[in-house]
Amino acid sequence: MTHHEAVREVAFPPSFRTLTTLPRVDYTDAFVLTTPSSAERTGVEWARAMLEEAPAETRRMLRRGWFALGVRLGSPDDHRRVLGWEVRRSSPDHAVLAADSLLGMEAEVLLERRPGALLIATVMKLNNPLARLVWTAFSPQHRRVVRHLLAAGGRRG
């Protein structure tokens, strides 16, 4: 089985509602990576494997995309963050990364390791019609990118 086959989109896990810090959720997606090495990294370490350990061109593409969406990130060199994303919550089993957009989007990326699997979900609060319009147009590309990052991070994991 290739890693792309090991990644599949799944229903948003109800348990993830307890991880998000957003007061309202307007968008969700969720993916699972089947991997025997899920327990070898913490949630934050998995986030770093997916984002910070990605090839330089992938990191540049991600930051360009986030910039185009008005996402406000901290320094990618700040080790308290993951490629500029705030670590809002973390434990050995999960991590919550967060960022806001100038367009009125609030986003969190939720990661949770489970036996034999890693789950990643995106939750968003869309605060105005422009944010809803932009995200509706962008979300299919976002899902393709997340699927790729999860598969590639799994190969590095």
pLDDT, tens digit (0-9, with 9 covering 90-100), for 88-134: 999 999 999 999 999 999 999 999 999 999 999 999 999 999 999 99
CB-CB neighbours of 111 under 10 Å: 26
pLDDT at 13 over 90: yes
Exposure string of 50-83, with b = 16+ CB inside 10 Å and e = fewer, is: bbeebeeebbeebeeebeebebebeebeeeebbb
Chain position carrying tokens 């990118």: 145
pLDDT at 52 over 90: yes
pLDDT in tens, 65-94: 999 999 999 998 899 999 999 999 999 999
pLDDT at 138 over 90: yes
pLDDT at 4 over 80: no
pLDDT of residue 154: 83
Fold of the 3-156 domain? Alpha-D-Glucose-1,6-Bisphosphate; Chain A, domain 4 (3.30.530)
Mean pLDDT calculated for residue range 131-156? 92
pLDDT of residue 157: 61
The pLDDT mean for the chain works out to 93
On whether the CB atoms of residues 151 and 35 are closer than 8 A, the answer is: no
Model pTM score: 0.93
pLDDT at 2 over 80: no
The domain segmentation of the chain, as residue ranges, is: 3-156
Amino acid at 80: R
